[in-house]
Structures are given as structure tokens and as C-alpha cells.
């Protein structure tokens, strides 16, 4: 594992139980998260990106059924609950989608912070922890004298900043942001994204940004991973994804974004609907909706493999894997 990979996800599958049976929300995902990057994780609702994000911290409701989660050398699937707890909040932090409900309504902001700090650094005194809290809150643009207030006294945007400050209160190597701006209005969202960029540049924080909004990803991500029906279908730098999109689903996704230059042409709409995770199509899960579908697509699932020699752009599509695998098929 190269030194600049912070988190190596290998062949990860995550399931959770529903009334109709076990759903495999994440299926055999291979992904490397590099230090100091902002990785965007995009896809439609129900594609598994949220479950994957939560699984990075082994949060419920998903259960890891196979694969490895190598965070800075430690396999999170194999460590004890106590060790897991030590990592959560200290080295990996999470920012949730709904700022209105993510904070304890009867706890002051400062107490949220000092509690987190002192849970992971019990030797620190209350006063010391408070100083650190003031420091981090200030860094994130909140006036230090407000930390004695309660969550309901803050606006949505401010609350998201508080959430980030909680995620970074300690060492904060990695921040997983699960749809952080969905509940915010556009201007606040822009400010929030600026903040994320600053954090990356100044503090070297690695961020996984989970969103269904391509625009957000285009703004600040370094690399983008596209998910569909629990599988990773494309992984590329943001530049490559937009300029030389490979997977038909990614293409469809990008075309779906309303264009300001609309000249009367209809909005593009992908045919069909996301599949039922309990009854996936055979072969490639996207094949029923794919405008470039081939015979093999409904029979064999395409492997997730690099398309170019440098390995920085990978996709799971028979359009780009044909050569090597059809040889395998014949033999």
C-alpha cells in the first residue's frame, strides 16, 4: 500500500436486513482514498453511497459481510469495539445530512465538543478541553462566545460548521460528509464548500464527500467515484470524469444536470428506474437502461478495472474491458 493512501477499501460488501430480506447495499467495492484529497462519492438515491460512507466507520445499520477496511494500516473489520471507538471521532469524523437533528438539543455546543475531546483524551482538564473547543470553533468561523448556547439557537449552516468542528476536534485525519449540503440553501452551501476546501488546503484533512449533486462534486472534489446499485462503476479525477466520461451511467448522470444554455431541447432523462436491490438484473446491473448495451452485458458482470495504463481512471463496463475478457470467455 502506497504511503499516500489513507484508507484502502478492498472488496467490501455491506448488507442490512429489511422486511423482505437481506439487502446487499454495497457489493465488492475496491476503493483507495488518498491522503489530503477530496473524494466525491456520487450516485442516485439508494445506490449505496450512504451505506458505504457509514461502513467506513462501521456504523449501523449496515453490516460488513466481506472485505477489508484498511485505515492507515489497521483493518477496521478485525479490531475490537473498544479500538473502533477510539478511532471514531478522533481520527475519522462524520458530518450528517440533517443539521437540525444531528445535535443533542439539551446539550450546549461547548459540551458537545469538550465531551468528545475528553472521551478520547481523558487526561485533559475541563478548562483545557474548553480552550481547544474555542480554538476549533473559531477556525470554522463561529464566534467563540457563542459556544455556550444550545443547538436550536443556530442556523442550519452554522450547525453544519459545528458538526465539522466536532469531526475535527481531535486529530481528524478523515472526514466523511454524508450529503452535508442537501438541507442548506445555495448561498450557505457555497460557503460551506469553501470551508471544506480551506480545511483541505490548510489542515490537510482528507474528505469523502457523499452527494447526489454533481455540481457540488465539480466544485471541490479532486477525484470522483460513481456508484450504481451498490457497485462502483467509475472512478476518475474530476477533470477526467467530466471530460472523458467512460461509463454510460456516468454519462447519463452528467447529461441529466439542467444546463443553463437550454435552448428548448427537452431535459435529458435516463430511461427506466434504479433496480430493486433484492432482485438485481443479471450481468451488469445497468444493462436494462444502458443506451450502449451489448449482448455480453446481460450475461456477465463486468469487472472494475483501469481503462488506461496509468490506472487513474477505472470503470466497470464491457465497452472498455472487451478485449481481455472475451478471450477468457472463449477458453
Which residue of 2, 3, 19, 269 would you call a contact of other proteins, by CB under 8 A? 19
Nearest to 228 by CA among 159, 317, 165: 317
The angle at the Cα of 45, spanning 91 to 72, to the nearest 5 degrees, equals 20
Which residue of 78, 85, 143, 255 would you call a contact of other proteins, by CB under 8 A? 85
Number of residues that bind other proteins (CB under 8 A): 35
Which residue of 1, 4, 61, 201 would you call a contact of other proteins, by CB under 8 A? 61
Region from 24-32, 148-156, 243-251, 292-300 binding other proteins, contact rule CB under 8 A = 148-156
Q: How far is the CB of 238 from other proteins (least distance, A)?
A: 27
Long-range contacts of 325-330 (CB under 8 A, 24+ apart): 325/300, 326/296, 329/296, 329/300
Which residue of 30, 44, 72, 115 would you call a contact of other proteins, by CB under 8 A? 115
Rounded (10°) CA dihedral 269, 15, 77, 74: 0
Q: Are 66 and 12 in contact (CB under 8 A)?
A: yes
Site for other proteins in 116-135 (CB under 8 A): 116, 119-120
Specify the residue, 129 or 163, whose C-beta has the smaller distance to other proteins. 163
Region from 67-75, 105-113, 224-232, 264-272 binding other proteins, contact rule CB under 8 A = 105-113
Specify the residue, 206 or 245, whose C-beta has the smaller distance to other proteins. 206
Cell of 325: 475478457
* φ/ψ (deg, to 5) at 329: -60, -40
Q: Which string of x and - marks every residue 262-301 that binds other proteins (by CB under 8 A)?
A: ----------------------------------------
Strands 206-211 and 174-178: parallel
> What is the distance in angstroms between the CA of the first residue and the CA of the last residue of the chain?
33
Q: Name the one residue in this structure whose C-alpha cell is 495504463.
A: 309
Which residue of 7, 50, 51, 88 would you call a contact of other proteins, by CB under 8 A? 88
Cell of 77: 473489520
The angle at the Cα of 124, spanning 122 to 127, to the nearest 5 degrees, equals 130
Site for other proteins in 156-185 (CB under 8 A): 163, 166-167
Strands 63-71 and 74-75: antiparallel
Cell of 10: 478492498
Q: Does 44 bind other proteins (CB under 8 A)?
A: no
Q: Does 101 bind other proteins (CB under 8 A)?
A: yes
Beta bridge partners of 32: 8
Specify the residue, 119 or 237, whose C-beta has the smaller distance to other proteins. 119
Q: How far is the CB of 206 from other proteins (least distance, A)?
A: 17
* Residues binding other proteins (CB under 8 A): 18-20, 57, 59-61, 85-90, 93-94, 96, 98, 101-107, 115-116, 119-120, 149-150, 152-153, 163, 166-167
Amino acid at each position: 500500500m502506497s504511503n499516500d493512501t489513507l484508507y484502502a477499501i478492498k472488496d467490501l460488501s455491506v448488507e442490512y436486513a429489511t422486511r423482505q430480506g437481506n439487502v446487499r447495499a454495497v457489493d465488492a467495492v475496491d476503493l483507495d482514498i488518498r491522503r489530503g484529497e477530496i473524494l466525491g462519492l456520487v450516485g442516485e438515491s439508494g445506490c449505496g453511497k450512504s451505506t458505504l460512507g457509514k461502513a467506513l466507520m462501521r456504523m449501523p445499520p449496515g453490516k460488513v459481510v466481506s472485505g477489508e477496511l484498511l485505515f492507515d494500516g489497521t483493518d477496521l473489520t478485525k479490531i475490537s469495539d473498544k479500538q473502533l471507538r477510539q478511532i471514531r471521532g478522533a481520527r475519522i469524523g462524520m458530518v450528517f445530512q440533517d443539521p437540525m437533528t444531528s445535535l443533542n438539543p439539551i446539550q450546549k455546543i461547548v459540551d458537545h465538543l469538550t465531551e468528545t475531546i475528553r472521551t478520547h483524551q481523558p487526561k485533559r482538564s475541563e478548562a483545557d478541553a474548553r480552550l481547544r473547543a474555542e480554538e476549533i470553533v473559531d477556525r470554522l468561523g463561529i464566534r467563540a462566545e457563542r459556544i455556550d448556547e444550545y443547538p436550536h439557537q443556530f442556523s442550519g449552516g452554522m450547525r453544519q460548521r459545528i458538526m465539522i468542528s466536532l469531526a475535527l476536534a481531535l486529530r481528524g485525519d478523515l472526514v466523511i460528509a454524508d450529503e452535508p449540503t442537501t438541507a442548506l440553501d445555495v448561498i450557505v452551501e457555497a460557503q460551506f464548500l469553501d470551508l471544506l476546501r480551506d480545511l483541505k488546503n490548510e489542515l490537510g484533512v482528507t474528505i469523502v464527500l457523499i452527494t447526489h449533486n454533481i455540481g457540488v462534486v465539480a466544485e471541490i472534489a479532486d477525484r470522483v467515484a460513481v456508484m450504481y446499485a451498490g457497485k462502483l462503476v467509475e472512478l476518475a479525477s474530476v477533470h477526467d470524469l467530466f471530460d472523458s466520461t467512460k461509463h454510460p451511467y456516468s454519462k447519463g448522470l452528467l447529461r441529466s444536470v439542467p444546463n443553463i444554455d437550454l435552448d428548448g431541447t427537452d431535459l435529458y432523462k435516463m430511461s427506466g428506474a434504479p433496480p430493486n436491490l433484492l432482485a438485481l438484473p443479471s450481468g451488469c446491473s445497468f444493462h436494462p437502461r444502458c443506451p450502449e448495451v451489448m449482448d455480453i452485458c446481460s450475461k456477465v458482470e463486468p469487472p472494475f478495472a483501469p481503462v488506461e495504463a496509468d490506472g487513474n481512471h477505472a470503470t466497470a463496463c464491457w465497452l472498455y474491458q472487451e478485449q481481455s475478457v472475451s478471450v477468457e470467455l472463449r477458453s
